[in-house]
Structure formats: structure tokens, C-alpha cells
Chains A and B, each alone.
Chain A
Amino acid sequence: MNLEGEHQFKGPRQEVWDMFRDPETLSACLPGKSQLTKIDEQHFEGTINIRIGPVNGSFGGNLEITDEIPPEKCTLVVQGRGVTGFVKGIGHIQFVDQGDGTTLLKYTGEAQIGGTLASVGQRMIDSVAKTMIRAAFESLNKSLEVRLAAKESGGKGVRGSDSSKVNLEKPAEEKL
């Protein structure tokens, strides 16, 4: 399955990049009760929950960030396996400074699914993928707002050093 699209962020490119590379932020983008643990700057592992039609399961896997040219672009490689199948994806992300304080994120990629997920859920995968991506961008929008607000109001910047002040919500899980 091929994916591509873009999203406009209301913030400067460096901020968008930093936010993107923050594991807590990425974790918040994942659906359901997913979580991501950092191994090192480029490697993360954890679980992700996916529901596609009647097939529902958690997938253990890892995420690798490669080909990084901060703050311009990077490539995400995702692999997950579970009882209901497996997921493999690769996404090429570009961050384009629009010159007016906003950043355009452009992505292209492909995803491969297999197992029950594919054999029973394949007709719904396109719409599920779009929904997940949309939810992830909503989450990132919120994260960016919070970041920028925190910067303005007191320079603490990165969430996590004062997490009691920051309220980062995951996007409501969509019923499919």
C-alpha cells in the first residue's frame, strides 16, 4: 500500500523537528494504548495497537529513524508483529520551511501488512491508514501548540521536565 500526503504545521521548522524527534511526542501519536520506549536516538521499541475491521490486536515491534538530515528530513522504518499478523512500513518525511513561520511536512511511504490483518482486513486498510495518519497529525498539532506556548511562557521548552504543567492528550480513539 502506498501512502503520501502533507500537513501544515503552525510553527517554525526547528521546533517542528525537535518535537518530532521527541519520543514522548511520537508515542502520543500512536493509536490506542500504544507506547514507545527509547533505546537510543535512532531506535525505539514498543507496542502498537491496531484495529482493522473485525481484526484487532497488539503488535510488538520497533521503529528506526535513519537518513536524518536535521531539520530537513528523515526516514522512519517500522516493523511490528503480533498474533493477528505483521506490519512493515517505511516513510520518508520532509520538513519544508515555508518562510512565514509555518512548516510543511511532506511524506511518502509504503506499508506492507500480512497475516489475518491482510486476509480479512485488507479492504479497510486504506481508510484505517488515513484515519491513523490524520489522528497522528492532530496529536502533533497539539504537541506543537503546547511546546510553543511553554516556550513563550517560561522557557522550560521540552515536556517531561515539568510534566505536571503540561497536558498532552492522546486523540480520541476513533471507532471504525
Chain B
Amino acid sequence: MAGIVFGQRIPRNEDARLLTGKAEFVDDIELPGMLHAAFLRSDYAHARINSIDVSAALKRPGVVAVYTATDFGDYWKPGPLQVPPPTAIPNSVFFARTLIPISKDKIRYSGEPLAVVIAESRYIAEDAFDDIIVDVEPLDAVTDLEKALEPGSPLVHEDLESNLAAHVIQQHGNWEEAAARADYVVKRKIMVDRCAGGAMENRGIIVDWNERSGEMTIWASTQAPIPLRNSIAARLGLFEDKVRVITPFIGGGFGPKIMTSMPDDVLIPIIATWLKRPIKWIEDRRENFLATTSERDQIHYAEIAFNKDGAILGVKDMFYHNTGAYDPYGMTVPLNTQTHTVSNYNVPNFYTEIKMVFTNEMVVTPVRGAGRPEGVFVMERLIDYAACELGMDPADIRARNLITREQYPVRTGIIGQDFVEGVLDSGDYPKALQKACDMIGYDRFIREEQPRLRAEGKHKGIGIVCFTEGTAVGPYEGARVTVGANGKVNVTTGISTQGQGHFTVFAQIAAEQLGVDVKDVNVITGDTGQFHWGAGTFASRGAAVAGTAIYKAASKIRQKAIMLGSQFLGAPEDQIELCGGRVCVKGDPSRYISMGEMAQRANPTRGTFPEGAEPGLEAVDYYGPPYGATGAGSVAMIVDVDPETMAVRVERYVIVHDAGTIINPMLVEGQVLGGVSMGIGNSFFEKMVYDENGQLLSASFMDYLLPQATDMPAKIELGHIETPSPLNPLGIKGVGEAGAIPTPACFAQAVENALADCGLQILEMPLSPSRLWELVQQSGKE
């Protein structure tokens, strides 16, 4: 469905600024009289607070104020629940215990704020930590998910009977009956461990309160400027338009920046109204690891029932999900796990149960993948062990069970993060699988290359997996498109941008409709002063949902321009077209009006105005899908394992991906590659480690390893399939998380295949050389 600019590999509008250092990020902003905030954070993961004495800190030169919980009076209370509870799911149990902005009586995670210091510089503020005397009584920490639910465990929230945060069961069909009549049932305990967002730019906020006008301006590195604005306005008793949140350029979001109830979000605006000076808080890297949300941390007890011909009859998955010390983001992550377990396969009987657990660790909220990788990992491992049991090839067993293109739309029977039943709208899963196999040369590798390599003593393995990616969920987004008197176009939308290329992609959509040059379209995102309705950038929904709103608004302008053009140029509407920035008559280049002039003529300053008309060439529109569109694909990889060092090198990586209609292939590739590198990180490098006392042991890049360029395969091969989504006029699906979701599952399969002579079973992610070595030693003993 490629057009003149739509569907083309257009270089990004924003890159010149970004690459020459002219882009403005939160920390670039300096305001006169600005003060700096620093948070004194708890070392203990679980403790009772006896007293916090800040008197000495107040005397330090350069310190303007020091606040503890009691100073906030009525403002001190648990924050808002950012995602509604799962009441749409029958019999669900959910205990809301939202983020507390600053500890008062009890500390529940290492990193929880104890005091806020405001000083002339960040250096002075941090030096003041030395002056603050904290008297706490440490308590035993809750860190083991299963032990946390045993009677007698210390309680993270003492007003609850146990550490159970939520209990949700979903099912379709009848698992018990399927398991009873199946030829085989295979069970495994599978664990997926924690990872961080690890964005290049940490979180940050600047709050400027103008006492005279009663207006607050905030610059924040956020994925949700409108909810942030609304939350702060409500808390301070202000009308929403008195608070403006501006999102400058952001150095990566990846999920954690969706939060709007973090301690800084809540406290800095309050403090700004007291001190009446601008206040800046920029997170440092150790704080980011310690006290910004992270994700994954589940233990699954999973079973698969199948027959000897490879047909899957049912899957059962009972899993523990760690929500950390609080659950401000509801059930989004584990619900994503539930909806992404059997999604792409025909599994008539599916039972899935979540036990969400409070622990004395940092709060869990989405990180790229957001629960989906866990579901895919569990299912793909179960399928691999089923294949192993039957002596069946992993690609064949998948082909046998995949949903085929004739079956859409497929009702999954499982409610997802948008609280409606997941429906697979479109796709061609078998084609993606076949294409991935072809691209990597699957059959040839297994039959010819691998036996030869084995004979040479090399340990190379191949993996092939399938996945779906739920994207483009509601509720809605909106946009305003305006043609200016100079013929240039403004596109304004409520979501913010973290580097995905919105400034280009949204320009392409509008430019295609209005017949203007992409470079003449200026895109404004993430400024609540310019557009104030919307939810935020998450769940790979920007292009599909905001993009569709932009398309609809631009289409309205297109229709209006054609109608007015027909009037002004005296030709029937079907003879009017928009191109080159002009409204013209087809076949007669002498008859035209420029878009700019049209915009002016549509906005009279004298005379009369038609009933029901709107001035200028401007339109606002909104779009909300009935449910999210589902992308999908297959990943294949070849790995080389050094049996002595257990270093694993990914030699080839193939991903065949279906994101529906593609607006800019270059940007889609960028998203996929970025996701792949995070997926490889999740497979072999990145692990957030907490000890049994809730102490984070990996709070720097010395210990939390991000894959480097040298760790990535020399070439990542991308294959595309396009099955347009019927859910929006352009047929777009999201793609942001695609690379991250299937990679660990494929990595596990490929490494097992490389070390097939060890009988190795990989039931956890992430791995590391030392862990892999341990697993190989253990499997040798069985």
C-alpha cells in the first residue's frame, strides 16, 4: 500500500538536530534560580523507621530545605493506581497497594526514599546525606516468591493477610479432561529473571511553579505526559490547564518512563509550590538501577498435553509473578504473559493462573516486552520438550499447530491488559515460520552442516521459534492537523517520543494525505499545552493508534480542501487533487490554489461564515480500537558455543516479522534491531540480581551487562510479511517490542541444540557463561 511518501524509507526529520547536539533533553534545561533535588534512599529492603533527624543537614551551607514524610502532611499518601484492577476477569482478586512517595513508618524496598534534600547544587544535596541520621529497625526481607506465600512469612503490607497481591485464573476449554486423554503430558518449572530498562538517558524532571499566574511548567523524561499532568494537577487542586508537561527529546524509554507516580513525580511539584523556585531532579545511573522500575521475575509451573502425532491438546500454566513492594501498574505485565502463551497456536484447552506476590524488591512495571517474553518463553520451551519426547523436529511440531490464515479473526478466550478478550485480527503464522526456515537454511543446516561441524568438534546449534506481539491497544489517542498560512503543516498529538521516529512517521502519514513534502510537516509530541487528550506511549501503540488519529484528522482536511477547491476552482470534486502543496484540477496545471492560500481563504476575518463550518484547514480527530492488533513472526538463529568457556556467540539471526502495513521500512527495521539487541541481552547478559535480604547486587554496568556491538551477530537478517490489520484504516500494527519477545526462547533452543550431546535443559533466562557451565555439569550427572 505504498504511496508517494507513505511506505517509503524516508530519512528522519529529527536526525540533524540529534546528531549535531542541538536536541534538548531534560538535563540541558537551565532556569534562573533553579535548585537541585536529591533523594536519600534506604539501604535496607525491609525495616521499621524509628526516626529521621535532618537538623544537621539543614545547617549545611547551600542546603535550602530537607523534607521527610511528615513534612508533606495530607499530601503524604499512597499514589494513584495507574492501571485499573482486573475486575473484568471473573473471580479475580487484586489488592491495590500503590507506590508511597516517601517512607514514613516502614521501608519496603532498598532504594525507597527517606528524605528529599533541596540545595543550590546536586553536589551539596548529596553531601547533606552525610548529615542525616536515620534510625531504623531492620526486618527480615521477603524475596523468595514461593516462600513469601507460606504462612509465617514476614508481610510486606501488614494490613494484608499474606503477601498475595493478586490472584487471577483464566481458562478456555477443559485442561483436566485434555490432560487425561492425551498420549503425553510434559511438565516443567520455568523461570524468567529480572531485567532493567537501561535507557541511555535516566529519568529526570524539572518543575517551575509561577506563583503569580498560578501555573506550573514541567519538563519530564516521560512516556505519559498527559496522565502525569492530570495526576499532578489533581493532587495540587489545580485545573488541568494550569499544569503544562513538556517532553523534550528522550534518550530511550523502554517502559519504566510510563510511570507517573514515582516519588519525584509526586514530591517535586509539591516542593516547587512551597519554595517558589524551579527545581531539577536528574537520576543517576545507580539510582536508576536501584529505584526505577524493572521487569520480568516469574516462576512458572507449566504443563503441555499432546498426542503422538504432535497435536497439542492443552496447556496449563500456574505462575508466580513478582510485583515488588507495591503494585501501582496493576496486572498489565502478568496479563500480557497470559495472553501470549498459546496465542499463535490452536490449543483448545488452556488454563492459566497468576499468583502475584509482594516482595521487598523494586516495583515491577513493563520493560520492552512487558510480560510477553515470559509467556512466549514458557510455551516455546514446552513445545520443544514435547518435540523431544516425540522425536519430532521443532519446526515441524510448530507448523502442525500454528493458527492458519483462514482462521482469522480468532477469539482467544483470554482477557488482556486492555480488559477485553484478545482477538487475533490477522496474520499468516505458517508463512512466517516457513520463511524463517528458508532464510536460515534450516533443513540444510540440520542435515548437512551440523553433522559435519560436530565431526569437527564444533558445537553449533540452531533454533526456530514463533511468537505473537499484542500491540496497538486502546483506549484512544488524538491528533490535531493544521495547515498554516505558509502552506506548512503542523501535526500535534498527545503521546510523547522516545526515539522511535514519530517526527518522521507521523509526518509521512499527514504528507501523504495532504500532498505536501514530508519536510514541510512539523510534528509536535508530548506537550500538554499543545494537545491534552491521550494516554501515552506504551504497548507498541504509537504508530497504530496516534498514527490513525493523525490519518483521520488529515483525511478530514483533505476532504475539506477538495470541497473548497471544487468551489474556488469551479470543478467537480472528483477532478480535484492535492499534490506539491497545492490544490489543483487534474490535468490543468494552470488552475490551482496553494494549500497556504486555501488555509487563509478558509479563515475570513470579515463577512459571514457558513453554519456548521470550522475555520481554516485544521481538524482534530481521535481513534480507539475495539481491541489491540496482533503482530507476529518467527525467529531463527544459529549459535556457536565454546564448550570450555561457555561463551555463546550468535552467528546468524533471522527474524521474519509481520507488523501489518509499514509506514517507513527503515524505522521498522530500527525498532526490530533494537528489540533484538534487548532480546539478546535478556538471553545472555542482562540480569538484575537481588540477594536474600533484598539488596540489589547489580547496580552498575560493571555487573549489569548490556550487549555491546561486538556481542551482536554481524548481520541480523530481516524478513517481512504484511497482513494489514482490519482494525484501522491504514492496516498498521505495532512493532516496538517484536525483537525482544521471541529471542530468549530461540536462544535457549539453539544452545540446547548446540550442546545436544549433554542432554542439557534450559529452563531459565537469562543465562551466562558460568550459569550455562553449571547447567551442563548438572545435566551430565543425570
Contacts and interface: CB of A to CB of B under 8 A. Distances in A.
Interface of A: 81, 83, 85-86, 112-116, 118-120, 122-123
B44 A120 contact: no
B642 to A, nearest CB: 23
B703 interface: yes
A119 B696 contact: yes
B352 interface: no
B695 A120 contact: no
Contacts of B702: 120, 123
Given A83-B129, A83-B130, A119-B698, A114 B703 contact: no
Given A86-B44, A119-B289, A113 B695 contact: yes
Nearest to B692: A112
A114 B129 contact: no
Contact of A114 (B44, B286, B700): B44
A112 B110 CA distance: 14
Interface string B39-67: 00001110000000000000000000000
Contacts of B691: 118
B699 interface: yes
Interface residues of B, number: 19
B553 interface: no
B43 A120 contact: no
A82 to B, nearest CB: 9
Contacts of B700: 119-120
B703 A122 contact: yes
B693 A114 contact: yes
A5 B691 CA distance: 24
A85 B130 CA distance: 12
Contacts of A119: 110, 286, 289-290, 695-700
Nearest to A116: B286
Nearest to A117: B43
A112 B46 CA distance: 14
Given A114-B695, A119-B290, A119-B699, 16 more contacts: A81-B43, A85-B43, A86-B44, A113-B695, A114-B43, A115-B43, A115-B110, A116-B43, A116-B286, A119-B286, A119-B289, A119-B695, A119-B700, A120-B286, A120-B699, A122-B703
B198 to A, nearest CB: 15
A81 B50 CA distance: 15
Contacts of A114: 43-45, 110, 693, 695
Interface in B110-149: 110, 129-130
The 4 closest A-B pairs by CB, nearest first: A115-B43, A119-B699, A118-B695, A122-B697
B487 to A, nearest CB: 56
14 contacts: A85-B43, A112-B693, A114-B43, A114-B695, A115-B110, A116-B43, A116-B699, A118-B697, A119-B110, A119-B286, A119-B695, A119-B697, A120-B702, A122-B697
A115 to B, nearest CB: 3
B43 A123 contact: no
A83 B43 CA distance: 9
B553 to A, nearest CB: 48
A133 B290 CA distance: 30
Nearest to B694: A114
A116 B699 CA distance: 8
Contacts of A122: 697, 703
Contacts of A123: 702-703
A119 B696 CA distance: 5
A15 B698 CA distance: 45
Contacts of B290: 119
Nearest to A58: B130
Contacts of A85: 43
A2 to B, nearest CB: 13
Interface in B510-565: none
A176 to B, nearest CB: 15
B367 to A, nearest CB: 19
Contacts of A113: 695
Greatest chain B CB density within 10 A among A86, A113, A114, A115 is at A114
B500 to A, nearest CB: 31
Nearest to B41: A115
A52 to B, nearest CB: 12
Nearest to B111: A119
A81 B132 CA distance: 12
A113 B45 CA distance: 12
Contacts of A115: 43, 110, 695
A130 B670 CA distance: 48
Interface in B654-703: 691, 693, 695-700, 702-703
Interface in B255-300: 286, 289-290
B131 to A, nearest CB: 10
A83 B697 CA distance: 17
A85 B697 CA distance: 13
Nearest to B127: A83
Contacts of B699: 116, 119-120
B103 to A, nearest CB: 15
Nearest to B696: A119
Contact of A86 (B43, B129, B289): B43
A119 B701 CA distance: 11
Interface string B84-111: 0000000000000000000000000010
A112 B289 CA distance: 20
Contacts of B110: 114-115, 119
Contacts of A120: 286, 699-700, 702
Nearest to B135: A81
A85 B695 CA distance: 10
A75 to B, nearest CB: 19
A81 to B, nearest CB: 8
